[in-house]
Amino acid sequence: MKKNPTSNNSKDSQKKTWVDKSKHIVKTNLENLRVLYEDNHIIAINKRPGDILQADKTKDPVLSSFAAQYIAKKYNKPGEAFISILHRIDRPVSGVVIFGRTSKATTRLSQMFKNREIQKTYWAIVENAPGETSGTVVNYLKKNSDRNKSYVSHHETKGSKESQLSYKHIGSGDRYHYLEVEPKTGRHHQIRATLADLGCSIKGDVKYMAKRTNKDASVCLHARTIEFMHPVKKELISITAPPPIEPIWDEFLRISKNE
């Protein structure tokens, strides 16, 4: 197994990190891009809350473009290098995202995502502890595109899709509770909607019944690890993304090490 062989946490990158002083939010740019893993076929980035993966109506800078620019600059390629988006993480969510660097890797990884051959683990900080310390939840989600929200049903309805995830209660702090979540399907907002339906709204996720927003507009959901068979090398790859640097996430790290 190979773990995070490449890191982009150089002193130069740290010096060039800039902060939006109006909100105290660190925004990703080419100079502070956090590369977790790269080879000739794929690249993995630690996404900050607020980053978007591809262009949308906001016209904000996109993470996929920064990844392409990073590859082009590092390997002296003209223009932007080839980068393909393989999966999605919601804008307010942080964590590991992988991109394809070749058409071969893109085709194979896309099929692996479709076949559920890629294991993802999320960390979630929630307002209430679940009734059971662990469990598997199967429900049905129906997406409302106008509201960009998914609604939970406990039986199949027209337009709904089956959703499945497993969770484990890792521990609790003074006010919040720490869950490890493994989605089995890839539905829109499935972790956020399902945890809210369990009475465990994610901290900051007012769209799904959290009490209040986070100051940086994030939600406390983090794509912690992703594990898969390399599409070309056929080696098991496991990539772990450090959570945001905040006291509440530091507490999660401490509890997880003692678990």
CATH of the domain at 68: 3.30.2350.10
Asked if pLDDT for residue 63 goes beyond 80, the answer is: yes
CA–CA separation, 205 vs 82, rounded Å? Answer: 34
HSE-CB of 249 using CA atoms within 13 angstroms = 18
Mean pLDDT of the chain, nearest integer: 90
98, burial (CB in 10 Å: exposed 0-12, middle 13-18, buried 19+)? buried
Residue 40's contacts (CB-CB under 8 Å, 6 or more residues apart) are 101, 102
pLDDT of residue 22 exceeding 60, the answer is no
CA-to-CA separations, 72 to 44, 55, 65, 188, in angstroms, rounded? 15, 19, 10, 32
Closest to 125 in 3D by CA, of 177, 168, 185, 180: 177
Under the banding of pLDDT at 50, 70 and 90, the label for residue 159 is very high
pLDDT, tens digit, 9 for 90 and up, residues 216-228: 999 999 999 999 9
Q: What per-residue confidence (pLDDT) applies to 79?
A: 77
Structure tokens at 11: 């002193």
Give the pLDDT of residue 1: 52
pTM above the 0.85 mark?
yes
Q: Which two tokens stand for residue 67?
A: 């990844």
**Domain of 35, in residue numbers:** 2-258
Whole-number percent of the chain with pLDDT over 90: 83
pLDDT band (50, 70, 90) for residue 56: confident
Residue 157 corresponds to which tokens in the numbers above? 């309805």
pLDDT category of residue 259 using cuts at 50, 70 and 90: low
Rounded to whole angstroms, how far apart are CA atoms 135 and 198? 11
Cα torsion through 166, 171, 172, 173, rounded to 10: -130
**What is the count of structural domains for the chain?**
1
- Over residues 128-148, the mean pLDDT reads 96
Q: For residue 35, what are its two tokens?
A: 């590369």
